[in-house]
Amino acid sequence: MTNDLSPRQTWTRDEIRAVYELPLDQLFARALAVKAANWPDGAVQKSQLLSIKTGGCPEDCGYCSQSAKFDTGLKAEKLMPLDEVVETARRAKANGADRFCMGAAWRSLKERDLPKVAEMITAVKAEGLETCVTLGMLEDGQAEALKEAGLDYYNHNLDTSREYYGEVITTRTYEDRLETLGRCRKAGIKLCCGGILGMGETREDRIGLIHELSKLTPHPESVPVNKLVPIKGTPLAGSEEIDSVELARAIATCRIVFPQSWVRLSAGREKMTQEGQALCLLAGANSIFVGDRLLTTPLPGMDRDERLLESVGGSCAKC
């Protein structure tokens, strides 16, 4: 309990399990104490995510509509033109987003695409938004080029525990992911790194994921906690749904383990009740994705988001 208010990399898996499995009232009380001390204004950060290159991805992430390996009915598209990206970013800002994330369905960033993405980053930054991209794996020098273009955050999730990872994806390793995260850190880019729950993993895998994330030095500045959105045609489409209390438990644990990081209630909100989402915000989440879509899956939309934030008394991070 003594170290709850400052980030530390010394968490053991047993310690994280003990937190995760506290009686719910004690877990929430502890998470709320951390939140009150580190985030006294109760602000909720809003990000908007745009798919700048949809579908046709050679990777086999078992949850993803964009993998070319699964028949999900999604049509592959080319890289979006710069003006469309900037227009969407402007609208996002007008709707209250303060961070704009651009996602491309690539295994890794190709040298030929780097200048185009760099141009997008610079243009979005010039609109007064924080910038984030998720482009797959990075090679030496690419993170530096993205940073130079004005990149604030790189999103690259660990997805799940080390043990369960092979059930979800086979075309890139856990180590590959950690290497890309390391390259971003070396280039001075902030990290957005979390995982997806409800992919058929056990609670122990959820604890394992949080433990792996806790070892990153420093901790990711943003920790997205996604709830699987089952996509017909993907191998994980039939996974047992994770309930909102278990999701809130994972979020409260993240709040405690990552006291100074944004913890984002990320994908999967569309299918959750208002009460389930509110529970996750009460558990310590202080960031959400806004807009109509999250890459290729729907989001609840602005009106429902406003009602949600009003219901828990949260304001946007920049209001």
Contacts with ligand SF4 by CB under 6 A lie at 57, 59, 61, 64, 66-67, 105, 136
Distance CA 37, CA 48 (A): 27
Q: Is 192 a catalytic residue?
A: yes
In whole angstroms, the minimum distance from the beta carbon of 246 to ligand SF4 comes to 23
Known active-site residue 280? no
Q: From the CB of 248, what's the least distance to ligand SF4, in Å?
A: 25
From the candidates 30, 64, 184, 255, which is the catalytic residue? 64
Return the ∠ at Cα 226 (arms to 243 and 282), rounded to 5°. 65
Q: Which of 172, 184, 192, 206 is catalytic?
A: 192
Q: Does 64 qualify as catalytic in the annotation? A: yes
Question: Are 264 and 23 a contacting pair, CB within 8 Å?
Answer: no
Tell me, what DSSP letter sits at residue 57? B
Residue with tokens 């208010």: 5
Dihedrals φ, ψ of 35, to 5°?
A: -65, -45
Given a contact cutoff of 8 angstroms between Cβ atoms, the answer to whether 136 and 106 are in contact is yes
The residue among 82, 120, 116 whose CA lies nearest residue 101 is: 120
Catalytic pick from 30, 61, 177, 280? 61
DSSP 159: B
Residue closer to ligand SF4 by CB (options 64, 223) is 64
The active-site residue, picked from 132, 184, 193, 280, is: 132
Q: Which is nearer to ligand SF4, 45 or 67 (CB)?
A: 67
Q: What is the 3-state secondary structure (H, E, C) of 193-251?
A: CCEEECCCCCHHHHHHHHHHHHCCCCCCCEEEEEECCCCCCCCCCCCCCCCHHHHHHHH
59 or 130: CB nearest ligand SF4: 59
Q: Is 193 a catalytic residue?
A: no
How many other CB atoms sit within 10 Å of the CB of residue 75? Answer: 8
Nearer Cβ to ligand SF4 (8/232):
232
Q: How far is the CB of 160 from ligand SF4 (least distance, A)?
A: 13
Task: Give yes or no: 101 in active site.
Answer: yes
State yes or no: is 316 an active-site residue: no
- Shortest distance, position 59 Cβ to ligand SF4, whole Å: 4
- We find the least distance from the C-beta atom of residue 105 to ligand SF4, in angstroms, to be 4
Instruction: Determine which one of 99, 177, 255, 264 is catalytic.
Output: 264
Residue 173 and residue 10: Cα distance in Å, rounded?
Answer: 24
Closer by beta carbon to ligand SF4, 64 or else 189:
64
Catalytic positions are 57, 61, 64, 101, 132, 192, 264
